[in-house]
Structure 1
């Protein structure tokens, strides 16, 4: 029987070839062929990034709590982000969404707090897909040109631009006020007398008017502060289905009541009003997918979203992050993504899909480049960071992802997840350091970092609608640890604490190494189980693996214990020594993060050992010189 290592070696050696293959050995199309180096996505909540005000009053107004602008992403700010090791910036919350602040002087209709979450509004309740959030502009009348200037600055700084597209739902009060001539906003041509028609953009509840949710547990819009439109009413007759699928005219307060669900030609009983993709299209390239849809009739919502995506591509946007993609039929993604790739073959397309059973469908048929690896790797690492998870589970996760590992984007924080430093998660940002090394070096997939993560932001503010542990995406709020790094616009960490500076230095060292490493785009083999079996003093709070591409070879070891050091002779099994072509002898190992620990690989009798000492929460990336 083959050893576990042999099985993993034989299955993952293909990764170093740069092309996935079928079981019969033939080449297989993949949406995003592996690049020479890893990508690093830096998610910024655009409204919060440049805000320097520190009032942080719950439910505070823009004037009280402040707001960041496109202009805050100065060349100095962008250079500092690039120096962190970032290749792509995801500017979260760019499309114009519903918000309470009054911009009627700029010809923008007011929004009703009864169907808005927070005072600043949810970025996932888009009101106009052809414009940007007026909060983000120095001059709201010139807001789209200010965004274009941001795109140009980002490109000049050497990074690419990603923004959100939210396909499943739009704001309850969607208007599309700046929709180009010749196009129609969502819902403009709907027949509202019927619950469903294939060519309607929304679903309706004929004969019933919308009713604002019944608030409970002390909640009131705006925290109960007075507002002329906060009267418990919102005019919508007939009512429309809510974004999360609720078919009630009065959705629950925990529903996505601020949004309405988009109709993709799927009837209430689940029947499709569009052609389904034959199974073999999972193996065909984007050109074949585009040809499949050419001349076929599709629902008008599909066409509208494709026009929207191509509009932003035309403004210089390099890619999209798709919200809740699994709530939309995979055929739509084939249609949309093949159209985007025809306009920009290098577009970077990533999406939320939380059901692992759908991963391959949305990658191969839907032509997604990258999906969140949330419920498998992220959740496993979270449990380990919290102290009760075992590193033994990591290779189990990878074994089930061998064929799609490149497409599963890794992260430890984003706007939906708790901050590592929050008491509700780990309570100490340093506990994320070994997990970050593993997350960033384990596979060929991109790595994502959420702004403030690199300085240990705990998300402690009671912002209003948004509650502590997650930095609020609904409120005007300052982000204290991040603000200290901003240092009044110098973006140099001059006001950061020593611990914040040390953490950012760690992230910078790690991410810059990953984007320059050839080995991290090659093969992987687990040596964890081998060492658990053969190495005294090695246990389930340590994790080890190897990565290589040709003669560029890495040994990576992480200690997840915060109060315990380890000392052991890490073992490299014979299969790996033979794969690397090493003969008996001693080989120096260069430590790539800090360069402060020298090591040697000793090979004798076709097996290798490395004498290691690991401090608490320490990781070593050891490179065997070519």
Structure 2
């Protein structure tokens, strides 16, 4: 969750332990559910000469970083973020719901996704749901607790996983405990919140938003209440918690939450939102008890910031070397076992299609670099079809980043949500951005996403923790390269973050593990490795086994 108008934290000078780059700047009609013929990225073998592999490298220096016991299943996850209100409407009231989500599991699975992150599904007084009034119930606009249980059961039957939002920093002004304590110093819940006057009329809230009073985590009753709520959903079969605004909550709460959760549900994933541009800040939250964190340092450099358009590495505005510290932190800074979630946009940011000003090549580049490079990828609903979304001009803001999922070319049909349809919305009928318009087109963005996720699912090297950055890609100053490997497979990948065609060179002898010939091109047309013609905003992914 992000407050409006929050000042961005500037990137500081990279330490030599993490990068060898200059200090980066501050960054500010039937429903189409069954998968249609999908785009395929068919591996192609090249007869081009391959450099003679070097001998196996010596055993590396022992890694003395601490180890955390994170859930192994999450390493193989590909996530799909669902803003329930906007996704699919099963009862015809214009608002998405849990039964609608269940009806669209075929579509989600057709992407290759195996894990869903559900934005808040709790009762709330706002459309976004981050002001929770009851932590053990379902928003009646979304359905019932039985609907939630049915959704969990169907997700389990399909071998998928479900993560739910968990809001521990603040409650709703409408929460019954706060209602009892507000203006009532004798209330038993006075110490549950952070009142600042003797009459319980002034209180601390999330970034000063009166509707979001903050919990008092110095009160163990509060912590027991919230941890009990987390266990309630995990006991129903939920596989993990996405902790909203983790930075606002004291360390001891996260440590206690981890202890309680892992005692009963050792495979549950604890995923934290730590919105900061520095890997060193994220490191501290792994120490506090999280298995996984969103890679905000990487995202902010890639996009130029959550409100940016035409900025960042993805738009060629800054050097791609600025992405390297985020990757190197995975190898040198974070604990072993730490899990990093890679995203190109979410409900609090401009959508990637708007960030790149609708350029199809850069949309595909964003998809490739977020899905295939080290980390656990997440796709924000509609990103896979190129939905646009930028922060609104006010007084309505983030609703424009959370518009109804475009299922149909006409934006009308069964299940289409209609809760937000202003005249100045970002997405329009017959704009080429809908599941209906792209599902059957093998060259569509939708089927490109499917093909990329298929590659990740089929190649263990694209999910394994082993990787190494290329210090540079010879002859391509706008390129970033890295190696990945697992078992007997080695993969090299090169991404061109520039608007000009480049001729790059790949030295196969620089592989971190022995490789053989021939090379297979998983992405990009086969070419000689010493003269790779990489298009503007293009990518190569090359495999040896």
Aligned to 1:59: none
- State the structure with more CA Rg: 1
Q: 2:290 aligns with which of 368, 372, 375?
A: 368
SS in 1 for 2:435: coil
Deviation at 1:501, TM superposition (A): 6.3
Aligned to 2:324: 395
Q: Which residue of 1 aligns with 2:212?
A: 259
**How many angstroms apart in 2 are the aligned matches of 1:11 and 1:123?**
53
Change (3 A) 1:487 1:464: farther
Query: Is 1:67 the equivalent of 2:58?
Result: no
Task: Rate the CA distance shift 1:158–1:567 in 2: closer, same or farther, 3 A.
Answer: same
Cα separation, 2, equivalents of 1:410 and 1:313: 24
* CA pair 73-34 structure 1, distance change in 2 beyond 3 A: closer
What SS class does the counterpart of residue 317 from structure 1 fall into?
Answer: coil
Residue range with higher mean Cα deviation, 150-159 or 28-37: 28-37
CA distance, structure 1, for counterparts of residue 101 and residue 393 of structure 2: 24
Unaligned ranges ≥5, structure 2:
1-16, 21-55, 304-311, 417-433
Shift of 1:348: 1.7
State which of 581, 585, 588 in structure 1 corresponds to 2:514. Answer: 581
**1:96–1:128 Cα contact (<8 Å) kept:** yes
Alpha carbons 1:414, 1:450 under 8 Å: kept: yes
Q: What secondary structure is seen at the aligned counterpart in 2 of 1:402?
A: helix
Which residue in 2 is equivalent to 1:243? 206
What is the alpha-carbon distance in structure 1 between the residues aligned to residue 378 and residue 412 of structure 2? 20
Q: Which has the higher contact order (CA 8 A, sep 6+)?
A: 2
Q: CA separation in 1, counterparts of 2:60 and 2:111?
A: 30
The SS at the match of 2:477 is coil
Instruction: Identify if the C-alpha distance between structure 1 residues 498 and 484 changes in structure 2 by more than 3 Å, giving closer, same or farther.
Output: farther
Partner in structure 2 of residue 539 of structure 1: 477
Aligned to 1:78: 105
CA positional deviation for 1:358? 3.3
Residue 429 (structure 1) shift: 5.1
Q: Alpha-carbon deviations, 1:293-328, whole Å to 9, x = none?
A: xxxxx6111100111011111111111111111111
* 1:42–1:448 contact (8 Å) kept in structure 2: yes
CA distance in 1, matches of 2:316, 2:73: 35
Distance 2:441 2:319 in 1: 27
Residue 248 of structure 1: aligned partner: none
User: Which residue of structure 2 aligns with residue 432 of structure 1?
Assistant: 363
Q: Which position in structure 2 is the counterpart of 1:154?
A: 155
1:359 aligns with 2:267: no
Residues 205 and 31 (structure 1 numbering): CA distance in 2 closer, same or farther, change over 3 Å? Answer: same
User: Using the alignment, how far apart are the partners of 2:410 and 2:108 within structure 1?
Assistant: 15
Q: Distance in 1 between matches of 2:458 and 2:411?
A: 25
2 CA distance for matches of 1:396 and 1:462?
A: 32
Give, in angstroms, the shift of residue 461 of structure 1: 9.5
SS at 1:73 equivalent? helix
Q: Determine the C-alpha separation between the residues in 2 that align with 1:400 and 1:264.
A: 30
Corresponding residue SS for 2:353? coil
- Which position in structure 2 is the counterpart of 1:411? 343
Instruction: Give the direction of change, closer, same or farther, for the CA distance of 1:363–1:199 in structure 2 (3 Å limit).
Output: farther
CA apart distance, 1:148: 0.9
Residues in 1 aligned to 2:465 and 2:134: alpha-carbon distance in whole angstroms: 43
Q: Which residue of 1 aligns with 2:456?
A: 514
- Distance in 1 (alpha carbons) for counterparts of 2:510 and 2:204: 58
RMSD (Å), alpha carbons: 3.6
Residues 226-267 of structure 1: CA distance to partner in whole angstroms, max 9, x if unpaired? Answer: xxxxxxxxxxx52332223xxxxxxxxxx32221011011xx
1:310 aligned to which of 231, 254, 264 = 231
Q: Deviations over 1:563-608 (max 9, x none)?
A: x322333234x453xx42358xxx2222224xx62346xxxxxxxx
Q: CA deviation at 1:528?
A: 4.5
Q: Does 1:324 align with 2:315?
A: no
SS at match of 1:613: strand
C-alpha distance in 1 between matches for 2:396 and 2:203: 26
Could you report, residue by residue, the CA deviation over 1:511-539 in whole angstroms, capped at 9, with x for unpaired residues? 2222332213042122242x3xxx33x11
State the match for 1:478 in structure 2. Answer: 404
- The CA distance in 1 between the partners of 2:439 and 2:237, in whole Å, is 37
Q: Distance in 1 between matches of 2:58 and 2:160?
A: 34
Deviation at 1:205, TM superposition (A): 3.3
Q: 2:206 aligns to what SS in structure 1?
A: coil
1:87 deviates by: 1.8
CA separation of 1:429/1:418 partners in 2, compared to 1, >3 Å: closer, same or farther? farther
TM-score (norm 1): 0.66
- Partners of 2:379 and 2:214 in 1: CA distance: 30
Question: How far has the Cα of 1:90 moved from its partner?
Answer: 0.7
**Alignment correspondent of 2:372:** 441
1:135 CA drift (Å): 0.9
- Corresponding residue SS for 1:96: coil
- The answer to whether structure 1 residue 597 and structure 2 residue 545 are counterparts is no
Aligned-partner SS, 2:531: strand
Is the Cα–Cα contact under 8 Å of residues 57 and 513 in structure 2 kept in the other structure? no
The answer to which structure has the higher strand fraction is 1
TM-score (norm 2): 0.75
Cα distance change of structure 1 residues 263 and 67 upon mapping to structure 2, 3 Å threshold: same
Instruction: Say if 1:495 and 1:488 are closer, same or farther in 2 by CA, change over 3 A.
Output: farther
User: CA deviation digits over 1:8-36, x for unaligned, max 9?
Assistant: x999978xxxxx9426xxxx431316559
Cα distance between partner residues in 2 of 1:498 and 1:565: 30
Evaluate the alpha carbon distance shift between residue 32 and residue 464 of structure 1 in structure 2; reply closer, same or farther with a 3 A threshold: same
